Structures are given as C-alpha cells and as structure tokens.
Amino acid sequence: MNRRSFIAKAGLGSLLASPVNWPFAANAISNQAVSKARYIPESNLYRADIVIAGAGLGGCASALAALRNGLSVVMTEETDWIGGQLSQQGVPPDEHDWIENQGCTELYRLFRQAVRAYYMDHYPLVKEEAENPLLNPGNGVVSALCHEPLVAVKVLEQLFAPYISNRQLILLKEWKIKDAMVEGDMVSQLVAVSLRSGREQVLEGKYFVDATELGDLLPLTGTAYQKGTESKHQTGELHAAEQANPDNQQAFTMCFAMDYVEGEDWTIPKPDNYDFWQSFRPEMEPKWAGKLLELNYSNPKTLKPKALAFDPRGTEFDGQLNLWNYRKIIDKHNFDKGFFEGDISVVNWPQNDYFLGNLVDVKESEFRQHVEQSKQLSLSLLYWLQTEAPRPDGGKGWRGLRLRNDIMGTEDGLAKYPYIREARRIKAAFTILEEHVGKEQRAKKLGLPEEKVEAASFDDSVGVGYYHIDLHPSTGGDNYIDFSSLRFEIPLGALLPKKMKNLLPANKNIGTTHITNGCYRLHPVEWSIGEAVGMLCCYSLSHEISPKTVWKERERLSEFQGFLQSQGIANKWSPITE
C-alpha cells in the first residue's frame, strides 16, 4: 500500500495536511501575521509569545497548538530527544480501548497515524502489515501502537520542521531551566542553562508553560504546589491514605530495551550492586510477594501473589503473562524475513520499579544518586534474566538477551531519563478528586450500581481521557493501588494555578491528587492537557484576557470550548456501545 492509499484507508484526510492549514475558529488569530521568535543579542535573551519548559508530550502538544495558530514559541528540553515518556523515557503509549476512534485529540491521532506511516515509508513490512491501517509494529500487549522511541522522535521532528525553519519555534535541546524572574503573580523571564557548555540564556514570553517531567517551574516561580499523598481527611477520597505524606511518591523506572539472539552470549558484566538487588525483598503494605527479582509480584488489583512468566521466544503461557510480550516494540514477523534477528522488547516491569527514594525537592547529588541506583536495579534485572531466570526447560538464564543501547540512544543502554509517574502538582482553582472519576466512590456518592455510573461532567471541560487509576509501589511503602475509573473529562479549572496568572501546567503537574494522578498521567491525556493549554494561551492572547477570565465568564468559556472543538479537541465523550 502506498502512502496515499494508507492515508485514505486510515481516514486521515485533511489531518495530514500541513499543521499550518488547520481550520481556525471564528475570532481567533488566523488573520494576524505569524509571530516569530526573536533573539535580542544585547540582552542575551530569546523572546516569544510562549516559553515552554520541557518537550515531552504535553510540551510538544502545547507548542504545536500555539504554532498552528500563528504564535511564536521557545521550547527547552533537558535531553537530546523530544517526546518525553514516549521517547527519552522509552515507554510505549499506555492507551485505552477506544483510542482509534475517540478519547483523544485529532492532533494526537494524527501523530499516531504518522508513526504508522513512518514504518510504511521506511521499513520492509510484510504485505499484510503494509496494508494494515491499524499496524502495531511490536504487537505488544500493553498498546495498539508499540513502537521504537526513535520513531516517535522522528515524527515529532517532522511536525516541528517547518516552524523551526520559519523561526516561529526555537527548540533548545539539552537545556534546563535554572531560575525564574517573577513580578507579583506574573512570570517575566526564565533563565536556561546549556547542559553541554554551561552557557546561560534568558527566555522571555507572555505565557510560560511548565511541561517538565517533575513540575520544575513551580518552586522556581513560587507557584503553590502539592506533592506526595493527601489524607482522607483532606480529600475525602476512598483510597487516600490515613495520614498525608508529601514524601510518599510513586516509583520511577529506568527502562531499557533488549532483543534475543539464540545461541549467542551477550551477558553483561555483573553490576556493582547486583548482590543487593538479587536478595532485595520490598517492605510493603500489604506485603510484597517474595523478592523483587523474581517472576512474581503483587497483583495490582488484589495484592495477592501473582506468578509471571518470561520467555524471549515469545511463548504464550496459559494463565500467565509472558513479560517479553508485554512491551514488545518490534515483532520480527511484521517485517521481511530476516530483517530483524529477533523481537525487541522494552523492560518497564514491576521488577525494575525504583522506590527507595524520591526525585522531587532533593539536592542534585541525591537526585543523581537515586537515578544511579535505579540504573543498577535495571542492569541487575537484566543480569538476573541472563544468568538466573528460570527457563521452561528447567535451566537457568537466557544468555542470548542483548541490551540494545542503540534503541534507547545511550551508551549504557538505559533510557535517557527516568520514567516519571508522579510530579509536583499545582494547587489549582479546581482539584480533581476520586469522587469525580473513581468508579466505586462515584457509585457510592450517587447511590447507583457501578455499571450505571459515569464520571463527573464538568461545565469547563477542555478535553477527555481514560485510564484506570494505576498507582505503582511508593517510596512510603504502599503496595500497588489499582482500581477502576470512568471515562473522564479534563476540567479547565485543574489547569489554572490559584495565584499565578501566566504560568500553566502541561504534564503530570495539573490539579489532581495523588490518587487521581493515577489516571491523568498517561500518554494521550498528557497530550490533551498540553494541547488545551497551548490553545488557552492562543485564545487569551488574541482576546487580551486572562485564562481565569476565560474560566470564570460563561460566554468566554463557551467560545473557548468552540475554539477547541474547531481544531479537533472534543470535550465530551461520545456514547459508546460496549
């Protein structure tokens, strides 16, 4: 199938037209001249309409929304890969069952289909997959679109290419925000530092977007925020802790990729901390099932011991998940025979979740120490798989497992950045609670059977999403917290800090709680949050009003929601036939 046929069959139509040609809402800024980012040498600053810190999915979506509406953007990124959890963190997209048809923005769907088109353009797919509009390169269990991190980077770079060329976008890779200038309740400038040269650069904008993985702009700008666990007394949430603990946060993970070459020995040197991790037993409440480096764990929903399986040949096990198939990003059978030596799988499992320390509000030395310890855990898991993991034939270890540093784009073979599940969260104009999106608590609140209940409907909704409430083991010793949620909406009030007027969150740093973060933190929801924030900056600038005015004034809010819808952002779920 050629690209034109694929686009038609996939139903993309005008979606794959240049983002510059996207339709515009009435009274938007489409008739204005395109704004350009400027460098002011005498002041050593870049000046743009919007400054975005962090080029993860939320940051990229914010930037694309602003750029397609003619605004200028400066965006920084700590690593040399844009794409956040999908690329630098090496995690294939965690998505819901309806993602091909609804429950995300049209721009996110464009991105997904562009990933498929990239494989069709550049890889030798077998005929059946070359004609498959729902191509899943890896056929991983976790997603309908398991693919290599670098492909996400390439597709995002293609989307940004025209805006970089015409100077609407200044993209500063391997730069980190180190300071902020704030005047009252307005941010005026950020200071970025090059992680390569140490050179500093001032960034000036009208709006500032915090799309960092940990909500780094919040303390730098004095924006009020929450972190860790709230108590039942504070939130009234069914699954909240009895006592609040700001230092009790979800585990993070240093992911890696591997393939399997049968008959060869790719065993890595024994990691320095292997003896510690090989014997490590998590101290959790409820109790963890055995050692961390074993093929079992606590079932997230029941917290009872659950056996897992592992076989890099892709074997299916009756009643047990073969971890090899879980986040498989390349299925060799999708490609011409012999093109890949074997499948490629990403390791983001219970066995390499790191929960012995936090990355938020710690000194740089402690941050680096925990990242290094997490790397040691992941390498120890690989070494254990190569030398000790039980085999179906009664043997031990799979020495043909090969660490694929090329897949992650690093020397050590581990992801460029930790996979972050929990960040600082703004103290927002409105906070999303479990009673709004948790199936059990919502059913109790409304007095309805769980099968009849729906999530709270927000008048200020600016997007939709879905994922079950999924909290991994925490630094405070909590085992999994995993339970059913409902197809939810994204309220505008949760994107607005209580005080700051021109700083907006676009990642996992919105107004959720520790509990509801568990369903608002995944790939398509982060994208939806970011895109809504980019659109909010556009609308506010073009009408010369504040985001809070948009939120508070009913006519403005309704007009803004129409603006969103005109550019492919639904704020309500369509009826779904199960």
Structure token pair of residue 55: 């080029």
- The CA distances from residue 489 to 403, 482, 485, in Å, are 40, 20, 12
Residue count of the chain: 578
Residue 476 is predicted with a pLDDT of: 96
Architecture of domain 3-226+425-566 in this structure: 3-Layer(bba) Sandwich (3.50)
The interaxial angle of helices 523-543 and 57-68, nearest 10 deg, is 30
DSSP H helical segments within 313-415, as ranges?
A: 323-326, 364-387, 405-408
Residue 426 to residue 289: CA distance in whole angstroms:
35
Q: Decide: residue 173, CB within 10 A, 0-12 exposed, 13-18 middle, 19+ buried.
A: middle
Q: How far is CA 318 from the centre of its chain?
A: 32
Quote the CA–CA distance of 524 and 106 in Å, as a whole number.
11
Note the pLDDT of residue 188.
98
Model confidence at 4, in pLDDT bands (50, 70, 90)?
Answer: very low
Work out the pLDDT band at 25, boundaries 50, 70, 90: very low
pLDDT at position 311 is: 97
What is the rounded end-to-end Cα distance, in angstroms, of the chain? 32
Tokens of 139: 């056929």
Question: Tell me, what's the pLDDT at 32?
Answer: 55
- Which amino acid does the sequence have at 211? A
* Domain ranges within the chain, ordered by starting residue: 3-226+425-566, 252-408
pLDDT band at 302 (very low <50, low <70, confident <90, very high): confident
Cα gap 419→362, rounded to integer Å: 17
Q: What is the pLDDT of residues 140-160, one digit of tens each?
A: 999 999 999 999 999 999 999
Distance of CA 32 to the CA centre of its chain: 33
Element (H, E) at 306: strand 305-307
pLDDT at 22: 41
**d(Cα 540, Cα 547) in Å, to the nearest integer?**
6
For residue 26, CA distances in Å to 29, 68, 402, 405, 572 come to: 9, 15, 55, 49, 21
> Per-residue confidence at 26, pLDDT binned at 50, 70, 90?
very low
pLDDT score, position 299 = 85
Residue 554 to residues 303, 490, 506, 570, Cα–Cα distance (Å): 45, 17, 23, 18
Q: Give pLDDT, residue 204.
A: 98
- pLDDT for 300 equals 84
**Cα-based angle 88, 91, 97 (whole degrees, multiple of 5):** 140
Query: How many Cβ atoms sit within 10 Å of the Cβ of residue 336?
Result: 12
What does the angle CA 570 – CA 522 – CA 495 come to, to the nearest 5 degrees? Answer: 60
β-sheet bridge partners, residue 354? 252
pLDDT of residue 305: 87
Quick: pLDDT tens for 472-506: 999 999 999 999 999 999 999 999 999 999 999 99
> What is the rounded distance in angstroms from the CA atom of residue 71 to the CA atom of residue 535?
10
What pLDDT is recorded for position 576?
75
pLDDT tens for each residue of 234-261: 999 999 999 999 999 999 999 999 999 9
Q: Work out the mean pLDDT of the chain and round it to a whole number.
A: 93
Q: What type of residue is 426?
A: I
Amino acid at 412: D
pLDDT (0 to 100) of residue 484 = 97
Which helix (DSSP H) or strand (DSSP E) does residue 194 occupy?
Answer: strand 186-194
Q: What is the pLDDT of residues 501-551, one digit of tens each?
A: 999 999 999 999 999 999 999 999 999 999 999 999 999 999 999 999 999
What is the pairing mode between strands 186-194 and 175-183?
antiparallel
In the beta sheet, which residues pair with residue 45? 40, 202
Cβ atoms < 10 Å from Cβ of 65: 29
Q: Is the pLDDT of residue 18 over 80?
A: no
Q: Phi then psi for 257, rounded to 5 degrees?
A: -115, 150
* Of the candidates 157, 169, 195, 171, the residue with the CA atom closest to the CA atom of residue 78: 195
Residue whose pair of structure tokens reads 């100077």 in the numeric block: 167
* DSSP-assigned beta bridge partners for residue 279: none
Checking if the pLDDT of 31 tops 80, the result is: no
pLDDT digits 0-9 by tens, 92-147? 999 999 999 999 999 999 999 999 999 999 999 999 999 999 999 999 999 999 99
The whole-number average pLDDT for the span 184-194 is 98
Band of pLDDT at residue 3, cut at 50, 70 and 90: very low
How confident is the model over 57-99, as pLDDT tens digits? 999 999 999 999 999 999 999 999 999 999 999 999 999 999 9
For residue range 323-336, what is the model confidence (pLDDT) as tens digits?
999 999 999 999 99
Position of tokens 């592992």?
310
419 bridge partner residues: 253
DSSP tag of 41:
G
Among 229, 293, 197, smallest CA distance to 422 is for 229
* Chain centroid to CA 431: 20
Specify whether the CB–CB gap between 91 and 69 falls below 8 A. Answer: no
pLDDT in tens, 384-439: 999 999 999 999 999 999 999 999 999 999 999 999 999 999 999 999 999 999 99
